[in-house]
Structure 1
Amino acid sequence: MTRDADVDALVTYVVTSLVEHPEEVAIDKQETDALTTYEVTVHPDDVGKVIGRQGRVVKSLRVLVRAAASLNGSDATVEVVG
């Protein structure tokens, strides 16, 4: 059975749900042969909410994104740019 995950929609949904200013969320997708990187830019006041204490929120987001991408047979990660 083949499953397809919409990783782009997952990243957008989770990040916009976390922040106070969802209209200022920008997600840039960088693709290479082996890895897709989602560069997340948010309002300066929301950076801490996306990163979380000791990076726990962004680590959890990376786990979710990597698991969803593996359903498509690829690898992905998330970076918070600012």
Structure 2
Amino acid sequence: MKELILIIAKALVDHPEAVRVEVKDEERSVVYELSVHPDDVGKVIGKQGRIAKAIRTVVTSASVKSNKRVIVDIKS
């Protein structure tokens, strides 16, 4: 899942070397913290959050087999 988020985020930004994903595994959920260069935050979020919502939808769909809730946080 981490690799999927990295591939999607690196394709969207101008500074792909600054893309990082940290994983926090909790009891009932997994939190993926996506960090990007401050100039690229708007590109990852998109107009009215559409790209961020699409990323979350893809990750949630890919994690259906695991019985944990998946959360994607975007940080600069």
TM-score normalised by L of structure 2: 0.92
SS at match of 2:31: strand
Q: Give the letter aligned to residue 52 of structure 2.
A: V
TM-score normalised by L of structure 1: 0.86
Q: Give the letter aligned to residue 50 of structure 1.
A: V
Which residue does the alignment assign to 2:51? 57
Instruction: Spell out the pairing of 1:2-21 with structure 2 (5 A cutoff).
Output: 7-21=1-15
Runs of 4+ in structure 1 displaced over 6 angstroms?
A: none
Q: Does 1:33 align with 2:27?
A: yes
Question: For residues 4 and 65 of structure 2, what CA distance do their matches in structure 1 show?
Answer: 13
Larger fraction in strand: 2
Q: Give the letter aligned to residue 15 of structure 2.
A: H
User: After alignment, is 71-80 or 52-61 more displaced?
Assistant: 71-80
Unaligned runs of 5+ in 1: 1-6
Identity of aligned residues (%): 37
Kindly provide the CA deviation profile for residues 10-55 of structure 1, in whole angstroms up to 9, marking residues without a partner as x: 1111011110000011111111111111111111110000000000
Root mean square deviation of aligned Cα? 1.0
